[in-house]
Chain A
Amino acid sequence: SQTIHQWPATLVQPVGSPLSLECTVEGTSNPNLYWYRQAAGRGLQLLFYSVGIGQISSEVPQNLSASRPQDRQFILSSKKLLLSDSGFYLCAWSVRGLGGRHYNEQFFGPGTRLTVL
C-alpha cells in the first residue's frame, strides 16, 4: 500500500531563516506530487505541483520554491521566511495515468505545522 511521509511534524523558525520541508512517497511510482498550505480560517492553497523529476509548476508567486530531486521525493524550501509563511503545509500525491491521463483523487501526508516568529 502507498504511504506518504512528511517531516518535520512541527517547526518554529525566526523570520529571515531558511526552510526545508521534505515529503516522500512509498509504494507507488511516477506519482504527481503537490504542496499545499492551509492557513487558519482559509482553505487549502496549492503552492506547487510536479509531474516528474525536475518538473515543477508554481501556482502562487511567493518566496517559496520546490524541487523534486527523485521520483518520490518532493522538497519545499525558502531562503528567508516571512511571518506570513506560517501555516500548515501538506504534501499530497496522486496517480499519474498512462497516456497523460490524470486522476483527481489526491492523498495527503500528515503535514508540517510551521510557525514563523
Chain B
Amino acid sequence: EDKVVQSPLSLVVHEGDTVTLNCSYEVTNFRSLLWYKQEKKAPTFLFMLTSSGIEKKSGRLSSILDKKELFSILNITATQTGDSAVYLCAVGLYGGSQGNLIFGKGTKLSVKP
C-alpha cells in the first residue's frame, strides 16, 4: 500500500528559529513530491520536486528531495508567527488515477512570538 509519513506531527518553536520538517514515502510509480501549507482553510501550493538533490527555494522556505532514501525535507529559516500552519507533504504518481496525490497527515507548526 502506498503511504506518506510526515514527522514530527507537531512542533512548537519561537520566532527566529529554524525548523526542518520531514516527509518519507513508500509508493509505486513515484513521479513527484509536493509541499503545501494549510492555514485555516485550503492548502496552498509551495513546491513540487521531481529530481534528487536539487533544492527549491522560495524566500525563507526551501526543500530538497532524496529519491534514493525516499524522503524530502522542508526547511524554514528565521521563522515568523505567520509561518504557523499545517504543512502537508504529498506524493504524485505516474499512471493510474490521473494526477492523484497521496497525502501525509501533516506537521502542525506553531511559531510563538
Contacts and interface: CB of A to CB of B under 8 A. Distances in A.
Interface residues of A, number: 24
Q: Chain B: interface residue count, which band?
A: 20 to 34
Given A43-B103, A43-B106, A111-B42, A105 B97 contact: no
Nearest to B36: A108
Interface string B77-113: 0000000000010101100011111011110000000
Interface in B23-70: 31-32, 34, 36, 41-45, 48
Q: By DSSP majority rule, is chain A's interface helix, strand, loop, or mixed?
A: strand
Nearest to A93: B99
Interface of B: 4, 31-32, 34, 36, 41-45, 48, 88, 90, 92-93, 97-101, 103-106
Interface of A: 32, 34, 41-44, 46, 49, 51, 57, 59, 90, 94, 96, 102-111
